[in-house]
Amino acid sequence: MLEGIHPLLTGELLLHLDRMGHSDAVVIADAHFPAWAIGARVVDLPGTTTPEVVAAVRTVLPLDDAPALDLMASADGEVLDVQRELQAAARTDAPRFIDRFEYYEVAKAAYLVVRTGETRKYGNALLRKGVVGHPSAE
């Protein structure tokens, strides 16, 4: 156990986040997401929600310039409560909404997929890592 590290950030997850480079992506996925079919590296965090994990990851991961956050667009184009929560957890007001099947294609290039226990539909967030220690980093 380490002091000052969010308790959802396991050693395995921290290792992968540390190994990510500038503009590499991490997908924080809901329980419905085909994580193991898409991701070369997958960390399972059952019993968590995607907004909780996004908030935890943001404690150690600065965001890249736009697009910093991609969300999977709902079938009817409505912005869902879970998507508002993801946006707030990511601390950005400019998400890019991507069609479901295009989202899967973008996610295939992600460095890491973190599968949560989130059961709400469209509860997926793709974050791009910014430059650590950069003056504009949060």
Domain borders along the chain are 11-128
Q: What is the pLDDT of residues 62-101, one digit of tens each?
A: 999 879 999 999 999 999 999 999 999 999 988 999 999 9
State how far the Cα of 30 lies from the Cα of 85, in Å rounded to an integer. 13
C-alpha dihedral, 75 to 38 to 41 to 112, nearest 10°:
-40
Q: What is the pLDDT of residues 22-66, one digit of tens each?
A: 999 999 999 999 999 998 999 999 999 999 999 999 999 999 987
Predicted structure pTM score: 0.93
Q: Topology of 11-128 in CATH? A: RbsD-like fold (3.40.1650)
- Does 6 qualify as catalytic in the annotation? no
Catalytic residue, chosen from 6, 16, 22, 32, is 22
